[in-house]
């Protein structure tokens, strides 16, 4: 769709005189209305302002391209204005705007505004083209410069090509998949960042999210076939075989949040590597040259992401059983002394007990695909049972969480070895591998490894660790709480955060509920501290940052630490240290006050089953206050124009 076909003379002003952004938008809307494209001028004007609130359309270099897609538009259209003296438009580069193009798009599936935005952006990158438009003396001359530039920029266009382009644009130029271990915050923040940046850059994009509630916005075969490039921003495995033969960029989910522009630029450069599938559906999203540590972390997080629903659901049900049975506190059957408490306790324990086999199974699967799931689950069950052929049953020692971790990695590596050994068998036996040989050899080997090699030493280590934690003095526990709380804020959902959280959930299984409370309060503190800072010290934050205040309160109270990520990414030296300090203080105070949580998640929504809840809330308030104070001390007030 050519620019000159959308831009009417009635919608062009070569001598604009405006003095503010609002005045500029109002005059541009009036110009658009003069072209006859708008059914409801006020509704369209509201749409333009609403889009502007999401982020400025002043893209820099003296250019602004406001736009709105709304039912108020009868047909696609453009309006243009040249402002010789320039106008302050809150541009990304802070410079005045001299050339404004307004886009009107009907609310259809065609995304005409993105088409036009992309085309305009490409043309306006040429300094000479912009100078020609600013110097045009008549509207005919203005349109002539645009027509000439389009013919030069798109020489291959013909009537047939236009029809093909129209069909192609029904798809997406860029596809993406975002996935984080927990599937809660990072997954959707990366998706939003990629979508917003692609729209800003004028490219169509569709993002599939592999979240905790399942895969959403799933990419279709036709979309994959028609796209230019695919971005995989994930910290766990995603289905990769479908992308065979397509240009694919593989990166961390954090880069999808903080480096969206770089990823999109690389995707559209034509230099992305071609992905070649190994034939498995759940292929690893490894990058060339990826370090061993990164591969281990991703395998671990694959196990953790599948384990968490069992831990959270089961843990909360167990905690509810104690809440319901609170009248029986001190009784031998506390937690199962009433029918309802017994119900919660039975179901919760069943679900919670699945954490070890699920963790081990999915770690193994991340290493060696589906055949490794079975020996991994068996290894996790043996780690939980603590089976030993050399001791009577009443003396079995469980290797617990650490045993399940070892089982997962051992099962994965073991299945890689078994698959290599069985590759030498005749092809006629290929069908027996998944149904006979893999299960038999995998279970046999894992059983021997867990019973004779893993359970005895790791079980002894667990016994020592539990005894040490139980015997810790008050000062030692306070230090542990400070360390775990601080770890929750070092990387806001990254390896340190996950390590502390996994340690906390494992501690619940051994009865150390004070550790889980310190971990949870450490993760709740950063978003709340930041929200307090944006509430009471507004002059230190931009308009877009202040708009996240309510969201951060909600995320912090819900124990979703990732609400702090946008602030940490934009100003790490002034945000991360106060967050770590506040979380460490909150974790230490939680331990000092004797708080405990049998629920591994939920934040304020499980406060009714948190031990010593009033002091837990006090510790949270103090920790958030420390974070706020640190941020205020480090961040200076912004200039008025940036607030």
Are 367 and 512 found together in one domain? no
Residues 142 and 202 in one domain: no
Q: Of how many residues is the chain composed?
A: 643
Q: Concatenate the DSSP letters of all residues of 27-94 into one string.
A: HHHHHHHHTT-BS-HHHHHHHHHHHHHHS--EEETTEE--EEEETTBSS-EEEEEEEEEEE----TTS
What would the pLDDT profile of 413-459 be if each residue is shown by its tens digit? 999 999 999 988 887 787 888 889 999 999 999 999 998 899 888 88
Residues 47 and 21 in one domain: yes
- 447 and 495 inside one domain: no
Q: Which of 161, 173, 178, 163 is nearest to 117 (CA)?
A: 173
Average pLDDT of 390-410?
77
Picking from 124, 147, 167, the residue at the C-terminal end of a domain is 167
Domain assignment of residue 283, yes or no: no
Of 121, 118, 119, 116, the C-alpha closest to 99 is 121
pLDDT band at residue 282 under the 50/70/90 scheme: very low
67, 113, 306, 601: which one is catalytic? Answer: 67
Is 280 part of any domain? no
Domain that holds residue 34: 3-167
Whether 261 and 312 map to the same domain: the answer is no
112, HSE (Cβ side, Cα atoms, 13 Å) = 21
**Predicted local distance difference test score (pLDDT) of residue 283:** 43
* 529: Cβ contacts below 8 Å, ≥ 6 apart: 556, 578, 579, 582, 623, 624, 625, 626, 627, 628, 631
Q: Where residue 28 sits, what CATH number does that domain have?
A: 3.40.930.10
Tell me whether residue 634 is exposed, middle or buried, using C-beta atoms within 10 angstroms of its C-beta: 0 to 12, 13 to 18, 19 or more.
middle
Residue 284 has pLDDT above 50, yes or no: no
Looking at the fold, whether 303 and 199 belong to one and the same domain comes out as no
Number of domains in the chain: 4
Q: For 407-422, what is each residue's pLDDT tens digit?
A: 999 999 999 999 999 9
Do residues 432 and 507 both lie within one domain?
Answer: no
Lowest-confidence pick of 230-234, 244-248, 460-464, 494-498:
494-498
Please give the pLDDT value at position 147. 85
Residue tagged active-site, from 98, 113, 180, 229: 180
Same domain, yes or no: 568 and 512: yes
Give the C-alpha separation, 5 to 487, whole Å. Answer: 58
Least reliable range by pLDDT among 178-187, 345-354, 554-563: 178-187
258 located within any domain: yes
How far, in Å, CA of 170 to CA of 408, rounded?
44
Task: Extract the runs of DSSP E, i.e. beta strands, from 315-367.
Answer: none
Asked, for residue 272, whether it belongs to a domain, the answer is: no
Mean pLDDT of the region 123-149: 87
Report if residue 49 sits inside a domain.
Answer: yes
Is this structure's pTM higher than 0.85? Answer: no
Same domain, 107 and 200: no
Assess if residue 349 is contained within a domain: yes
Assess whether pLDDT exceeds 50 at residue 189: yes
pLDDT attached to residue 472: 66
For residue 180, indicate whether it is catalytic.
yes
- Using the predicted structure, report yes or no on whether residue 223 has a pLDDT greater than 50: yes
Residues 259 and 310 in one domain: no
Report the CATH number at residue 261.
3.40.50.2300
Q: Is 278 contained in some domain?
A: no
Give me the DSSP letters along 595-628. Answer: -EES-SS-GGGGGGGEETHHHHHHHHHHHHHHHH
Is 595 one of the annotated active-site residues of the chain? no
Separation of alpha carbons 464 and 468, rounded Å: 6
pLDDT tens digits for range 153-176: 777 554 545 455 444 445 789 999
Alpha-carbon distance 621 to 245, whole Å?
A: 53
Is 80 exceeded by the pLDDT of residue 468? no
Across all residues in the chain, what is the average pLDDT? Answer: 84
205 with 115, same domain?
no
Pair (448, 302) in one structural domain: yes
Task: Spell out the SS3 assignment of 28-47.
Answer: HHHHHHHCCCECCHHHHHHH
Domain end marker among 267, 300, 326: 267
In the chain, what percentage of residues exceed pLDDT 90? 37
Looking at the domain assignment, is residue 250 inside a domain? yes
CA distance 191 to 199: 12
């Amino acid at each position: 769709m050519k620019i000159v076909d959308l831009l009417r003379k009635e919608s062009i002003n070569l001598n604009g005189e405006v003095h503010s952004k609002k005045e500029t938008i109002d005059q541009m809307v009036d110009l658009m209305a003069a072209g006859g494209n708008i059914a409801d001028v006020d509704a369209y004007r509201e749409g333009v302002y609403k889009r502007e609130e999401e982020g400025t359309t002043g893209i820099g270099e003296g250019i602004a391209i406001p736009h709105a897609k709304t039912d108020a538009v009868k047909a696609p259209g453009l309006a243009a204005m040249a402002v010789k003296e320039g106008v302050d438009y809150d541009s990304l580069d802070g410079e005045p705007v001299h050339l404004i193009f307004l886009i009107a798009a009907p609310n259809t599936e065609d995304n005409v505004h993105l088409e036009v935005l992309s085309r305009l952006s490409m043309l306006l990158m040429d300094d000479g083209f912009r100078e020609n438009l600013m110097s045009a003396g008549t509207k005919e001359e203005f349109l002539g410069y645009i027509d000439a530039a389009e013919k030069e920029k798109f020489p291959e266009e013909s009537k047939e090509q236009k029809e093909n382009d129209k069909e192609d644009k029904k798809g997406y130029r860029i596809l993406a998949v975002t996935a984080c271990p927990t599937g809660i915050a990072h997954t959707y923040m990366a998706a939003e960042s990629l979508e917003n940046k692609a729209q800003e850059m004028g490219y169509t994009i569709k993002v599939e999210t592999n979240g905790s509630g399942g895969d959403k916005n799933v990419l279709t075969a036709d979309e994959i076939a028609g796209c230019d490039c695919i971005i995989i921003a994930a910290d766990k495995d995603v289905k990769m075989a479908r992308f065979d033969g397509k240009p694919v960029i593989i990166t961390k989910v954090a880069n999808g949040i903080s480096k969206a522009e770089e990823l999109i630029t690389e995707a559209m450069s034509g230099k992305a590597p071609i992905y070649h599938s190994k034939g498995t559906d759940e292929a690893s999203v490894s990058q060339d040259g990826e370090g061993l540590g990164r591969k281990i972390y991703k395998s671990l997080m694959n196990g953790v992401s599948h384990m968490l629903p069992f831990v959270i659901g089961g843990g909360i049900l167990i905690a509810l059983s104690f809440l319901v049975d609170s009248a029986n506190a001190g009784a031998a059957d506390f937690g199962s002394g009433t029918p309802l408490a017994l119900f919660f306790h039975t179901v919760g324990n069943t679900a919670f007990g699945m954490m070890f086999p699920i963790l081990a199974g999915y770690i193994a699967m991340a290493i060696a695909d589906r055949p490794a799931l079975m020996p991994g689950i068996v290894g996790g069950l043996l780690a939980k049972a603590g089976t030993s052929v050399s001791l009577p049953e009443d003396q079995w020692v469980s290797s617990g969480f650490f045993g399940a971790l070892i089982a997962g990695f051992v099962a994965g590596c073991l299945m890689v070895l078994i698959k290599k050994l069985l590759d030498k068998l005749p092809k006629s036996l290929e069908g027996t591998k998944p149904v006979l040989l893999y299960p038999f050899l995998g279970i046999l080997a894992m059983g021997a490894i867990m019973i004779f090699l893993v359970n005895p030493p790791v079980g002894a280590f667990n016994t020592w660790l539990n005894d040490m934690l139980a015997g810790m003095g008050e000062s030692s526990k306070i230090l542990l709480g400070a360390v775990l709380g601080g770890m929750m804020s070092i990387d806001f959902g990254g390896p340190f955060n996950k390590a502390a959280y996994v340690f906390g959930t494992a501690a619940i299984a051994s009865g150390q509920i004070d550790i889980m409370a310190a971990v949870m309060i450490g993760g709740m503190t950063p978003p709340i501290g930041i929200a307090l800072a944006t509430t009471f010290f507004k002059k230190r934050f931009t308009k877009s940052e202040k708009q996240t205040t309510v969201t951060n309160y909600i995320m912090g109270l819900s124990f979703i630490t990732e609400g702090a990520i946008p602030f940490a990414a934009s100003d790490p030296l002034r945000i991360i240290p106060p967050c770590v300090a506040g979380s460490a203080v909150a974790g230490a105070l939680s331990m000092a006050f004797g708080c405990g949580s049998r629920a591994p998640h939920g934040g304020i929504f499980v406060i009714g089953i948190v031990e010593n809840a009033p002091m837990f809330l006090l510790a949270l308030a103090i920790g958030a206050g420390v974070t706020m104070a640190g941020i205020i001390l480090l961040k200076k007030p912004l200039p008025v124009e940036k607030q």
